[in-house]
Chains A and B, each alone.
Chain A
C-alpha cells in the first residue's frame, strides 16, 4: 500500500505536471527549430510571438463568452484557437514580408537576422502590452478537474490523491495530435519532404525545382499554428502574462538545442527532457521516502536536490553541459 502511495505521489507531483509543461515547451521548441532549420536564424521573438497568439485567443474567447457561445465542460478558448491561428498566420506572414524577407533575399548572415528578430520581439511585446496590458489574466472556463484529489482518495482508499486538471489532459492530448500531424506532414507529404530537403541543402533543393517562397510561407504558417496553440495551452494551464511568456523563451531555446537544433523530433523530446529534469531536481522527496523507507530510516530534511528557486537554472545548466559535450544536441541536429 505504501508503495502504491509513493507512486501516486510521484505521478501527481512530478509526472503529470512535467508531462504538461514538457508538452508546452515541446511545441515552442519545434517552432524554434523549424525557423532555425528552414529560415536559418535563432528567433528571439519566439516567446512574444506565442504571447501574441495567446492574446488573440483571449480576445476571441472574450468575444465568444460575451455572445454566449461556450463548449460546456470544455474551455471556450478551444473554439477561439482556430480563429486566433488564422489571425496569427496573417501576422506572421506580414512580419515576414515587411521585415525578414529583405534580409533573406540579400542573404544576410544569421546573426543579423537574429538581431532583426530582437526588433520584432520589442515591437510584438509592445503591441501585446498596449492591447491587453501587462497584468496576469486567466481565461479558463468550464470544468476545472477531471479527477479531484479527494474523489481519487475516496475511490481507491489510498492516502495520496491524484488530481487531474482538465487543462493538463487537453494539453497532452492536443500536443500528441498536433505533433503526430506535423510529423506525418513533414515525413510523408511532398511539401513536407521538400521542406526537409530545403533545410538540409538549400542549393540542391533549389536546383531540383523546389519553390523557396512556398517553403518559407508554409514554414511561417506552421510556426503560427504552433505558436498560437503552444501559447494558448500554456495560458490555459497556468495564466497569461506577457512577461512570463518572454521568460519562457529561454527554456524553449534550451529544449530546442538540447534536442539538436533543426531536428523537430529532437526538439519535441528536448521539451520533455528539460521539463522532467527541472521538476525532478527541484522536487522535495521527503514524503516519497517516508512511504518507501521503513520508519527508522526516514529522512529529516526535505531531500531536495536544489531549491525551487533554481528551476530555470537547471535547464540552462543542462544546456551548457550539452553544448560542451555534444554540441549537435542529443538527437543529432545541425552541427555547429
Chain B
C-alpha cells in the first residue's frame, strides 16, 4: 500500500480534476474528456510497450491509429452491392496480382543467390507489377467511384458489428508493423524515428486518396454504434423513468405540471447523451483494464525481464542467446496492434472516419508527450500520462483565457494586444505541451510515475 501511494494519489487527483470539470462545466464535457483520455491511454500503452519495455522509437503512431480507424469502416459499413458489381471483380483481380507478385519476389529471394541480377530482377517485377495492377484497377476504381458518389462511391465493408473492428484494427496495425519492422528496425534510434514518421505519412496519403476503399477526404459518416442512439433513448419508457427517479428531488420543487414536463424533457435529452457516453466509457474501461492486466503480467514475466535486458544492453542480451531482432520485431508488432485498437475505438466513438484529420502533431507527437510525461516503462504512468496530457490539451484554452484575463485586467477590452491574445487562445495548448515536455525532461526525466523494477 505504502509504495503505491504516489500512484493512488496521482490517479485520485486526476479523477478529482475530471469531476471538477463535471461540476463546473458540465457532465457531458467531463465524460467526453474522460472517454478520450481512455482512448489516449490505450495509445500510450502501445507506445509505452515499444519505448518503455524495449527502447524502440515509433513515430508512426498516426499511421497505425488510422489503420485501426479504417478497420472500423471496413467492418461496420454495409457492403455497397452496386459498387461490388461495378468494379469488385477488378479489385479482386488486383488483390490476386499483388499476392502473385509477393510470392514471385519471395520465390526469387529464396532460390537465387544475392547478386546484381537478382536485385534488378526484383525491381523489374515490382515496376511491371505496379503497371499491370494500375491498368487492371483503373476501370474498376472509376466504376466504383462513380456509383452514387455523394453517398457511397466506395466498396463499403462487411456490415458486422463495429466492436469486431477493434480486434481487426489490431491485426491491420500489426500487419503494417510487421512490414515496417522488417524494413526499418535495423536502423539506429533516431533514423528509426524519422523512417516510421515518414512511413506513417505514406499510409495516410494512401488512405486519403484511395477513394474506392475509404472514400478519402469525403469522409465516412454515420457508422454503426455499439451503444444506443440518443433519439431512441429519449422515447424509451424505462429510460425516462430512470431520469425521473434520479431527478425526483429537483422535479418535486416544480409545482406546475406543464413546467415539470418541460423540465423532465430537458433532463431526458441531457441524460440520454450522458448515458450514451457512459456506455462508451464502460466499453473503453474494459479494454483499458484488460490491456493493463496483460501488460503488467508481461512486464513481470521472464519475457518482460528479457525485454528490459535487451533494452539496457543489447549486446549482452545477444551474447546470452536472446534473439534481439526477433524480439524487437515482436514487440514492435504488439505495441502497434494496441495503437490499432485505440484507432478503431476512436472512430467507433466519433461515429465517423475523417482521413483528413490524421495529423502527426495530434496523433504522434502528442502521444509521445503523454508517454514521456507519464513515465516510460511504467504502465500506470503511461495511462496517467494519457489522462493528464489529454486533460490539459482540452482544458488549455479555458486556462489560458483565464490567465490572459488575469494578467491583462488593467487593459481596456478594446486594447489591441488583449484582443490579439484572446483570439490566439487555442494555440496556447501547444505552448503548454511544449513547456510541460521540456520541464519534465529536464527535472523529472523518468516521468511523473517513474519505472519501478520489482524483483519478485
Nearest A residue (CB) for B59:
A44
A65 proximity list for chain B (CB < 8 A): none
Q: How far is the CB of B108 from chain A (nearest CB, A)?
A: 16
Knowing A133-B424, A309-B205, say if A324 contacts B183 (CB, 8 Å): yes
B184 proximity list for chain A (CB < 8 A): 320, 323
Q: Measured between alpha carbons, how far is A295 from B379 in the docked complex, in Å?
A: 68
Knowing A111-B190, A336-B188, say if A320 contacts B199 (CB, 8 Å): yes
A58 located at the interface, meaning its Cβ lies under 8 Å from any Cβ of chain B in the complex: no
B202, B369, B430: which contacts A126 (Cβ < 8 A)? B430
Residues 301-320 of chain A, each 1 if its beta carbon lies under 8 Å from chain B, else 0: 00000010110110011011
Q: How far is the CB of A306 from chain B (nearest CB, A)?
A: 9
B361 located at the interface, meaning its Cβ lies under 8 Å from any Cβ of chain A in the complex: yes
Instruction: Check A115–B441 contact: CB distance below 8 A.
Output: yes
B188-202 interface (Cβ within 8 A of A): 188-191, 193-195, 197-199, 201-202
Knowing A246-B361, A320-B183, say if A118 contacts B368 (CB, 8 Å): yes
Nearest B residue (CB) for A130:
B424
Q: How far is the CB of B312 from chain A (nearest CB, A)?
A: 12
Residues 416-456 of chain B, each 1 if its beta carbon lies under 8 Å from chain A, else 0: 00000101100111111111011001100100000000000
A265 located at the interface, meaning its Cβ lies under 8 Å from any Cβ of chain B in the complex: no
B372 located at the interface, meaning its Cβ lies under 8 Å from any Cβ of chain A in the complex: yes
Nearest A residue (CB) for B441:
A116
Instruction: Check A118–B424 contact: CB distance below 8 A.
Output: no
A10-18, A161-169, A220-228, A250-258: which lies at the interface: A250-258
Q: How far is the CB of B246 from chain A (nearest CB, A)?
A: 42
Q: How far is the CB of A55 from chain B (nearest CB, A)?
A: 13
A41, A109, A129, A323: which contacts B430 (Cβ < 8 A)? A129
A115, A123, A129: which contacts B435 (Cβ < 8 A)? A123
Instruction: Check B442–A122 contact: CB distance below 8 A.
Output: no
A112, A126, A133: which contacts B434 (Cβ < 8 A)? A126
Q: Measured between alpha carbons, how far is A129 from B420 in the docked complex, in Å?
A: 11
Q: Measured between alpha carbons, how far is A309 from B430 in the docked complex, in Å?
A: 28
B194, B361, B441: which contacts A112 (Cβ < 8 A)? B441
Instruction: Check B183–A316 contact: CB distance below 8 A.
Output: no
Q: Measured between alpha carbons, how far is A36 from B71 in the docked complex, in Å?
A: 38
Instruction: Check B430–A116 contact: CB distance below 8 A.
Output: no
Question: How many residues of A sit at the interface, in one of the four size bands?
Answer: 35 or more
Instruction: Check A323–B434 contact: CB distance below 8 A.
Output: no
B438 proximity list for chain A (CB < 8 A): 99, 116, 119-120, 123
Q: Measured between alpha carbons, how far is A110 from B192 in the docked complex, in Å?
A: 12
A110, A114, A121, A319: which contacts B198 (Cβ < 8 A)? A319
Instruction: Check A127–B208 contact: CB distance below 8 A.
Output: no
Give the tally of cross-chain contacts (CB within 8 A).
Answer: 122
Instruction: Check A336–B434 contact: CB distance below 8 A.
Output: no
Q: How far is the CB of A58 from chain B (nearest CB, A)?
A: 15
A320 proximity list for chain B (CB < 8 A): 183-184, 195, 198-199
Knowing A115-B368, A313-B206, say if A120 contacts B434 (CB, 8 Å): yes
A80 located at the interface, meaning its Cβ lies under 8 Å from any Cβ of chain B in the complex: no
B57 located at the interface, meaning its Cβ lies under 8 Å from any Cβ of chain A in the complex: yes
Q: Measured between alpha carbons, how far is A41 from B205 in the docked complex, in Å?
A: 28
B17 located at the interface, meaning its Cβ lies under 8 Å from any Cβ of chain A in the complex: no
What is the predominant secondary structure among interface residues of chain B facing chain A?
Answer: helix
A134 located at the interface, meaning its Cβ lies under 8 Å from any Cβ of chain B in the complex: yes
A319 proximity list for chain B (CB < 8 A): 194-195, 198
Q: How far is the CB of A178 from chain B (nearest CB, A)?
A: 25
A263 proximity list for chain B (CB < 8 A): none
14 contacts between A and B (CB under 8 A): A41-B190, A112-B445, A114-B193, A122-B369, A130-B428, A133-B424, A250-B201, A309-B205, A312-B205, A316-B198, A319-B194, A320-B183, A323-B191, A327-B191
B189, B424, B437: which contacts A119 (Cβ < 8 A)? B437
Instruction: Check B430–A125 contact: CB distance below 8 A.
Output: yes
Q: How far is the CB of A136 from chain B (nearest CB, A)?
A: 16
Knowing A126-B430, A246-B361, A257-B194, say if A317 contacts B202 (CB, 8 Å): yes
Instruction: Check B195–A126 contact: CB distance below 8 A.
Output: no
Q: Measured between alpha carbons, how far is A324 from B368 in the docked complex, in Å?
A: 26
Knowing A110-B189, A250-B201, say if A130 contacts B208 (CB, 8 Å): no
Instruction: Check A110–B191 contact: CB distance below 8 A.
Output: no
Instruction: Check A127–B183 contact: CB distance below 8 A.
Output: no
A41 proximity list for chain B (CB < 8 A): 190
A118, A257, A312: which contacts B191 (Cβ < 8 A)? A257
Q: Measured between alpha carbons, how far is A118 from B184 in the docked complex, in Å?
A: 21
A112 proximity list for chain B (CB < 8 A): 441, 445
Knowing A126-B428, A126-B431, say if A118 contacts B365 (CB, 8 Å): yes
Q: Measured between alpha carbons, how far is A320 from B437 in the docked complex, in Å?
A: 30
Q: Measured between alpha carbons, how far is A116 from B365 in the docked complex, in Å?
A: 12
Q: Measured between alpha carbons, how far is A336 from B195 in the docked complex, in Å?
A: 13
A111, A121, A124, A129: which contacts B57 (Cβ < 8 A)? A111
A267 proximity list for chain B (CB < 8 A): none
B198 proximity list for chain A (CB < 8 A): 250, 253-254, 316, 319-320
Q: How far is the CB of B69 from chain A (nearest CB, A)?
A: 19
B99 located at the interface, meaning its Cβ lies under 8 Å from any Cβ of chain A in the complex: no
Residues 324-336 of chain A, each 1 if its beta carbon lies under 8 Å from chain B, else 0: 1001000000001
B202 proximity list for chain A (CB < 8 A): 312-313, 316-317
Q: How far is the CB of B239 from chain A (nearest CB, A)?
A: 43
A83 proximity list for chain B (CB < 8 A): none
Nearest B residue (CB) for A246:
B361
A123 proximity list for chain B (CB < 8 A): 430-431, 434-435, 438
B106 proximity list for chain A (CB < 8 A): none
Q: How far is the CB of A289 from chain B (nearest CB, A)?
A: 16
Instruction: Check A119–B205 contact: CB distance below 8 A.
Output: no
Knowing A41-B190, A122-B365, A319-B198, say if A310 contacts B424 (CB, 8 Å): no
Instruction: Check A114–B190 contact: CB distance below 8 A.
Output: yes
B187 located at the interface, meaning its Cβ lies under 8 Å from any Cβ of chain A in the complex: yes
A183 located at the interface, meaning its Cβ lies under 8 Å from any Cβ of chain B in the complex: no
A102 located at the interface, meaning its Cβ lies under 8 Å from any Cβ of chain B in the complex: yes
B208 proximity list for chain A (CB < 8 A): 309
Residues 17-28 of chain B, each 1 if its beta carbon lies under 8 Å from chain A, else 0: 000000000000
A42 located at the interface, meaning its Cβ lies under 8 Å from any Cβ of chain B in the complex: yes
Instruction: Check A130–B431 contact: CB distance below 8 A.
Output: yes
B209 located at the interface, meaning its Cβ lies under 8 Å from any Cβ of chain A in the complex: yes
